[in-house]
Amino acid sequence: MSSNMKDIKGYKILNINLNGIRHHVLFKKHESNKSDDRSIFLCNLPIATDFKTLKKFFEKHSIGATIENFTNSYLTDSIEDIVIDLPSLTSDLKDPEVNESFKLPKNCGVLTFIDKAAFQLAFTNLNKLSNKEEIIDWPINSNSFGSSYFLNQYQSQILDIQELSNDVNQSLIDFDQAEKESMENFQNQKQLVDDDGFTLVVGNQRKTKAGILGNQQQLKNKLNSEKVQKKEKTKEKEDFYRFQLRQRKKDEMNDLLRKFKADQEKVQQMKEKKRFRPY
Amino acid sequence: MGKRKHSKVSEIENGDVEMTQSVEVEEPVENGGEMNESFDGNDNASESESEDLDQPQDQQPPKPQGRPTKKQKKQLSAQEIQVARETAELFKSNIFKLQIDELIKEVKLKDTHVTKIEKVLHKLHDLIKEIPPIENLSLEEIESRFTSKKVVIPFPDPKPTKLNYKFSYYPPEDVSLVGSFGLKTGILQQNGMSIDMALTMPKELFQPKDYLNYRILYKRAFYLGYLAENLISLTKKNNLPVKITYKYLNDDVLCPILRLESIKTDNPQDLCFHKTKFTINIILGFPYGIFDVKKLLPNKNCIRIQSDEEELPPTPLYNASILSSTSYDYYLKYLYISKKAAESFKDACILGKIWLNQRGFNSNFSKGGFGHFEFATLMSALLHGGGLNGNKILLHGFSSYQLFKGTIKYLATMDLSSGYLSFSSLIGESVASKYNQEGFNVPTIFDKNLKLNILWKMTNYSYSLLKRFASETLVLLNDVVKDRFDPILLHNVNQDYLKYDMVLNITVPDLEEFGPSEKITFLTLENFIMNKLYVILKRALGDRVLEISIKVDDFINSFSINKRKITSQSNNYTIGLIFNADECEKLVTKGPNNADEEGGALFRNFWGSKASLRRFKDGTIQNCVVWQYQQEPIVLSIIKYSLDNHFHEDISSHISTEINTFNKLLPIPLLPSGSNQSVTSTTAFTNLKTSFDSLSKVLSNLTLPLNIKAITPASASLRYTSVLQPVPFAVSNPDFWNECVLQFESSSRWPDEISALEKTKTALLLKILDLLNKESIYKAFITQDHSISGNNYITLLNILTPEGFGFKIRVLTERDEVLYLRAIDNASDKQKSRLQDIYLMFNKKYMGVVKHSRTITSLTHHYQFYSPTVRLFKYWLDSHLLLNQFSEELVELIALKPFVDPAPYSIPHSVENGFLKILNFLANWNWKDQSLILDLVKLNDTLDLNEGKLLEEFDSKNLSDKLSIQSYQLIEKNFEKIRKLDPSAIKTQLFIGSKDDPSGILWSNELTLPIASRLTSLARASMDLINSSGVTSQTIELLFTPVLKDYDFTMALKTNKLAVSAGVLPSTNSFKNLVNGPSSFPSDLINLYDLSMAFSEDLNRKFGSVIIFSSRKFGFLHSDGSNIITGLFIPSNLSKKKFKVNFGIHIKPVDKDEVVINKDSIMKQIELLGGDLIKDLTLVKSS
């Protein structure tokens, strides 16, 4: 790459030294309505970048710029390239998660400083470093990986029974709560009489709107497809008029002919692929 | 209006042209009458319908008034319909007929070649006429005249010494073209076609008793030598450059012929025909009817030797050889008459010839002794009868397909060995051919007129094999669901390693017993040895094998004209065996009852010291031989023992087979009986199943808020297909945890939102956990599960059983599917396809796998060799670092193909055979164009196919659980739909449909194009290797050696010695008895897990979008017991790209707004991540 590059598409480039290899972290000021101007958006971060890593980094290169928190992208350690929020897709009880990490692209993160001053300090220093094209050591802890790291991964899959049951209890209570609220809203709707003078009929089994509408839709489809057709069929006599018989025979013939033509075509195709070589 | 009319008239004219065309293609209408007695018998209904359709045709041309045009149009379509309908009836289906037409066109001899060769033949004919006669040479004169410098007389053994008769040459009585070229049924062949030219030696050369003691053969040998000598000089002089060699006609050592091969020269005057690839055989025949045929009956002796025995043994081969030499142009006439009488005879002959050719059969002794001539003669005979009462099997009006099928059916269902077919070749006399139930126990089609057994060159075993092929083909011909044209006629199925379950190579030392009386019976040492081997093996193996086939390796049948004969054939023989799955691995060979003294004595005599008396449960006492499993298949032990005792002492050390090399590749479980079990043993799996059953009983008895409805097994080990056999407490086995799917009684109270639903499931699992830990000896804990992307709320209940096995329980409710489907509905367009994938993941893990396990389990019980075969196949994939890229279920389905759909081969009965058939299938599977539709049924190959009725019954019975045409077409349509959207197979590669999964993509959805292509290319490379170098221990080793140079980098990981804790007997350990498996669970299971798995999963999460990582699932089974991980950068990601924030992988800027991926940095990060796990990281390709 050309060494004189300092920015790309509005991102500043920070050259870092990753255990002897040059890596490029891109950054810019984070622009978001919530961030009240004290956040930096970081892109192309190396693996295992977390609060600790960044804290170490800024302690060295920008003393005094205290970090409040670091939001890593949810996708960084996920096999997916887009966020799938199943709960909100399966029910309208759950609002789409407002989790910031869901919105960030892979290997990106948002660094928020304790106050504006800290941000200014850090941002200026980063810019300086970028402009100088200096290669800065990245505080990655190479000892934290390897077998112990993977052993931990296995370990973390085993859940603590007490924590788990607390968590389950709490979420089920929350869910019941949410469901109840939604139900009440819904019951209110039931009272409403719409323009045509209809009210919404609500069963007491499925308590969400999606559930009910889903069912109705299915029922309607089913009715349309099976019953109606069956009824129609039994009514109609298929061999009453002569033309019906004739038509049927004609259809049959055409069908046969069509198939014959299709077969011919198929064999022609096979022939083109030189399939008929027995040896 | 006028204009419109006009245009319609022109349409009709076009139509007329088309009409005549279609008539040409079709069967002539006059055959219609005969067709009513149609062979299939079920055509009557449709026949009358088509007659209805005929009517408009017969009407007078319509009057030129308003409507006729329409009518005429209809008439036209009726005609076309007739074509379409007829093909569907006379042939199996339209497509089958069209394919036959194409095939016959494809193998037709080129006209230019034929013209050329006719010129050659005419010239040759003229040259032969020029040969001067010579009279009354004595043997001595001949010997001095013909020396090894130029031409030697090809006298058959024994070489004549003193003769009291003289040799002469007079011009031949008749020169004619015989064989398939003469009959105009010749076709293109791989190694070029040979044209048979028969010269009939003149009568005056012979005396009535010349058929005795080789006399006529010596005379012919001289005639041939003299002919050769003269032709050499004549062809040279007359610009016909040919190379002349001796050859044995159909490998018959009594019948040498001249083989003329064109030599390429630069002289334009020369008549060269090397380009046509034709060779010319000059065959010498005797005049028809020169001897009393009764003297040459198969049971007569015509070679008088000195013998102590009162009666000399018959000389059937000698007799038949002489008889058939009198009949070359006689049979040509016979066949010609049939060809004239039956329109499609010629095409059917060609079909038969191709069919035989693909199965390695022809008229040669060494190729089974059943070829085009025998097929055509049989067909002729069947046109004149062939049934028990002489009723006609074939009718003259049959289509080529019907003639072919009828003949195949006859071969498949009528036993020509226990009974025989007699026919008369006398032209003009209509004597019905008849099947006689009392036969000679040799394959026989007997020509009453010539007193010749047409099948004289067949052996019992070649006949049996032919019959098997015919039966298999008949099943295919009866298949109404799939198009079976390819396996019937297009595939060459003549590879020993695919044809036979076990292939033995045996080197035979000199045998002393081959004396004069053996010689006159068997003619050659090779025939004698093969017969002896067959008799012993048949007796020793009995029901254990279905077919035994024996042949000489590298058989030679041509030799130089300055040699008298072929000096020596190879003394290596190949024995091919097809096993009977039910019997082959049985430990006891049962003999006659104790009461049968005579039989008992014979039995003991044959088995020697191994024979013993045993009392069975039902009280009978029987002679038995009990075998012990000694790390080789029982069949092999029996073969070795019986051949040592009856063929030649210590011959077993000259027997080699690779069947065991394959069997030994399967890891040996660390169990007390582990190293001494049969390859089909499933004891270890059964133990696991028992443990599962008792666990599910315990679980079902727990008192829970919701009762358990079912717990179903869903793991490879529980369906007998895991690479490692389950060994108790073997925690390091990657398949240690067996997933099961638990369903509660149905309830309407499941939450209608996915995270809450999963939490509810967890709550129930917690309840079970609590009860288990309190009330039972089971140990349990709960783990998180990430197998369904996006659903991070799933938990599994892990249970360790006191028997030493582990189970993971996941809960399925009736809500799940609804929710996943709803998510697809609610998703944005961007997410939709990913959510569909997620739904498939769910379907696989919770529903598909349950169905799959059920089906596979039942099939493994039926196909005994399926379980070890699929396990070896998985091991092979793992050797090539591919197993992790496929779902185990997909692998199992692929491996199932040779079992449930073996055509054109038979069902595999050995690991070697099954495994090679899988590779062969993969090497030839063009998944871009072809779907794989598996009919998951239990096929049987030991059915008694002798009874035609039984066969049909079998077909109709099986129809119920077989795929119906409708469901087959539905699956095929799914495939077409997918290919229409994705013609170059970018998204979907392998399509495997079955009744369990009509979508065809459930198990292959996650596959990627590079991986699918790699699988195919690896299989191709493997088959190429096997085809070029054969199945040897070296090639087998190569088959399992990975090619690491294809990757960008490889990482050798730190050795973790997990074999013992995975329950595998380490291959390096020589003291097998000293290794003990674990006998209890360790305090911390995790310490025994394979960390390389976690490493490669993490790599996939972090860099999976640009690198394809491959690693082994069973690292400890390979080489030094450590795993490797390889990486391949996906090429399309390596180029410069515009910078985007959501690039998803580490990049470096190169230009104003362009970036490339930062390979160095990625490699560094991988290295960091691996840390102490990595032993060695090698970059293979420089970037």
- Structure confidence by residue, pLDDT tens digits, B32-66: 333 333 333 333 333 333 333 333 333 333 333 44
The mean per-residue pLDDT over the stretch A110-121 comes to: 86
Interface contact flag, A77 B1101, Cβ < 8 Å? yes
Which positions in chain A touch B89 (Cβ < 8 Å)?
none
| Cα–Cα nearest to B421, from B371, B462, B385, B459 | B385
User: pLDDT tens, B374-427?
Assistant: 998 898 888 888 888 878 888 888 888 888 888 998 888 888 888 888 888 887
Contact A183, A209 (CB under 8 A): no
Q: How far is CA B778 from CA B688, B768, B773, in A?
A: 15, 11, 7
> Which DSSP symbol is given to B2?
H
Chain A residues in contact with B838 by the CB 8 A cut-off are 84, 86
Strands B256-262 and B434-436: unpaired
The count of other CB atoms within 10 Å of the CB of residue B434 is: 20
Residue with tokens 């197979």: B985
Q: Tokens 């000199």 sit at which residue?
A: B510
- Cβ-based contacts of A94 with chain B (< 8 Å): 753, 755
- Sequence-distant (6+) residues with CB within 8 A of B318 are B254, B302, B303, B520, B523
Q: How far apart are CA B905 and CA B924, in angstroms?
A: 14
pLDDT of residue B85: 62
Residue in B83, B106, B1094 nearest the CB of A154: B1094
Tokens coding A236 = 């109609």
Extract the runs of DSSP E, i.e. beta strands, from B65-105.
none
Would you identify the CATH topology of the domain B108-326? Beta Polymerase; domain 2 (3.30.460)
Strands B194-200 and B279-285: parallel
Position A121 pLDDT exceeds 90: no
Answer whether B908's CB lies under 8 Å from B659's CB. no
Sheet-wide strand order for B737-744 = B708-713, B737-744, B806-812, B795-800, B779-784
Identify the band that residue A65 occupies on the pLDDT scale cut at 50, 70 and 90. confident
Q: Choose among B810, B763, B834, B757: nearest CA to A85.
A: B834
Phi first, then psi: give them for residue B704, nearest 5 degrees.
-125, 160
**Pick among B98, B928, B972 to test the A interface (most A CBs inside 10 A):** B98
Which residues 71-100 of A are in CB contact (within 8 Å) with B? 75-82, 84-87, 89-91, 93-94
| Residue B722: predicted pLDDT | 93
User: Two tokens at B325?
Assistant: 């030499």
Please identify, in words, the CATH class of the domain defined by B496-587+627-657. Answer: alpha beta
Quote the ipTM score.
0.82
Q: How far is A126 from chain B (nearest CA, A)?
A: 18
Which of A16, A89, A141 is the mutation pick for testing B, counting most B CBs within 10 A?
Answer: A89
- Residue B822 with chain A: CB contacts under 8 Å: 89-90, 210, 214
Taking an 8 Å cut-off on Cβ atoms, the answer to whether B1146 and A78 are in contact is: no
Please give, rounded to a whole number of angstroms, the shortest distance from the CA of B676 to a CA of chain A: 36
Q: Does B50 touch chain A (CB under 8 A)?
A: no
Side chain identity at B865, as an amino acid letter? F
Tell me the C-alpha distance between B350 and B364, whole Å: 18
In the predicted model, residues of chain B with pLDDT beneath 50 are 1-75, 942-960, 1183
* CA–CA min distance A5, chain B (Å): 8
Give CA–CA dist B44/B808, Å, rounded.
Answer: 60
Look at the alpha carbons of A88, A94, A95, A97 in this order and tell me if their dihedral is positive or negative: negative
Q: Which residues of A touch B835 (CB under 8 A)?
A: 84, 89
Nearest CA in chain B to A168: B759
Q: What pLDDT shows up at residue B15? A: 36
Confidence of residue A35 (pLDDT cuts 50, 70, 90): low
Read off the tokens for B671: 């169990």
Non-local CB neighbours of B282 within 8 Å, separated by 6+ positions: B197, B199, B227, B231, B257, B258, B259, B260
Q: What is the pLDDT of residue B58?
A: 37
Count of CB atoms situated within 10 Å of the CB of B1080: 9
Q: Residue B242, class by beta-carbon neighbours within 10 Å (0-12 exposed, 13-18 middle, 19+ buried)?
A: buried
Reported in sequence order, the residue ranges of B419-554 that DSSP labels E, i.e. its strands, are 420-423, 434-436, 445-447, 452-453, 502-507, 545-552
B1169–chain A Cβ distance below 8 A for any pair = yes
- pLDDT for the residue numbered B526: 86
Provide the number of CB pairs (under 8 Å) joining chain A to chain B.
Answer: 267
* Cβ–Cβ contact A165 with B under 8 A: yes
Inter-residue contact A61 to A136 (CB < 8 Å) = yes
- Give the residue from chain A lying closest to B52, CA to CA: A249
Helices (H), B631-720: 634-646, 659-665, 683-700
CB-based contact B164:B120 (threshold 8 Å): no
Topology adopted by domain B1045-1179: Alpha-Beta Plaits (3.30.70)
Ranges of CATH 3.30.70.3020 domains, chain B? 496-587+627-657
pLDDT at B520: 84
Which one has a higher pLDDT value, B1069 or A79? A79
Q: Which of B248, B274, B275, B247 is nearest to B261 (CA)?
A: B274
Nearest CB partner across the interface for A77, out of B790, B1095, B1102: B1102
d(CA A215, CA B818): 10
Closest CA to B1107 of B1176, B964, B1010, B1013: B1010
Q: What would the DSSP string read from start to end of B212-225?
A: STTHHHHHHHHHHH
Q: Do A90 and B766 touch (CB under 8 A)?
A: no
In CATH terms, B864-1041 corresponds, of 3.30.2420, 1.10.1410, 1.25.40, 1.20.1070, to: 1.10.1410
**What pLDDT is recorded for position A236?**
67
CATH topology of domain B339-492: Poly(a)-polymerase, middle domain (1.10.1410)
Contact A90 B819 (CB under 8 A): yes
Query: What are the residues whose beta carbons fall under 8 Å from the beta carbon of B240, sequence distance 6 or more?
Result: B120, B123, B124, B127, B270, B271
The answer to whether B85 faces chain A, any CB pair under 8 Å, is yes
Task: State chain A's mean pLDDT as an integer.
Answer: 77
Facing A145 at nearest CB: one of B106, B1149, B1168: B1168
Of B81, B1102, B1173, nearest to A146 by CB-CB distance is: B1173
Neighbours of B355 (CB within 10 A): 20
Checking DSSP bridges between strand B588-593 and strand B621-626, what pairing results, if any? antiparallel
CATH number of B681-861: 3.30.460.10
- Rounded-to-integer distance, Cα B13 and Cα B776, Å: 89
Tokens coding A239: 């061999």
Q: Which amino acid is at B783?
A: T
pTM over cut 0.90: no
The answer, for B107 touching chain A at a CB cutoff of 8 Å, is yes
